Amino acid sequence: MSSVLILENNDFFRRSFKEILKMYIPSLSVDESVDGLDALTKINQSSPDVVFMDIRLPGKNGLELTREIKGHDPNLVISVFTSYDLPEYRKIAEKYGADHFLLKDALTGAEIAGMVKAVIEKRKESDRRPNPKRRNHHKESFACLNHGLLMNRCGKQAIAGLIRKTS
């Protein structure tokens, strides 16, 4: 089953976002987390297809968590999802390996669902094709993470193209 983890400390936004995703993709399993420690546990247990990561969180911020997660599993798709469109945040998100940098109010539910569907389809395609270059990045605390998702960082144009194809 395809799954998403929403890492967001604002209860109203997190629950609303979950409902929107479920409305567009009823078969999607959507898990929620409010802090980094809980998110790391859930990632280790469920290996989601996509993690939507807020920047401002209790404890470690979302950018630091992105760096930590990508250090263990560079193939996990992380979409930084924030209200703060600051150039320094974008630069750090890219440096730390985020696959997408999305503004919370910039995309519709349909566009976000389209992106999630595209990531899931890409994962299914890569799981069906043998890839001799695929490397295992198993680490002790992330032993369950690597399931062959091959998705490179995309610019806005690539994301927009994925959204158009799946809408």
* pLDDT digit string, tens, across residues 7-55: 999 999 999 999 999 999 999 999 999 999 999 999 999 889 999 999 9
* pLDDT digit string, tens, across residues 138-149: 222 222 222 222
How many whole angstroms separate alpha carbon 25 and alpha carbon 19? Answer: 10
User: Residue 125 — pLDDT band, cuts 50, 70, 90?
Assistant: confident
Q: What is the pTM of this model?
A: 0.74
User: Residue 98 — pLDDT band, cuts 50, 70, 90?
Assistant: very high
Strands 100-103 and 77-82: parallel
Average pLDDT, the chain: 78
Domains and CATH numbers, the chain: 3-166 (3.40.50.2300)
Q: Are 38 and 82 in contact (CB under 8 A)?
A: no
Q: Which residue has better confidence, 10 or 167?
A: 10
Please tell me the predicted confidence (pLDDT) of residue 162: 35
Please tell me the predicted confidence (pLDDT) of residue 126: 75
- The three-state secondary structure class of 165 is helix
| Angle at 33 (CA atoms; ends 30, 38), nearest 5 degrees | 125
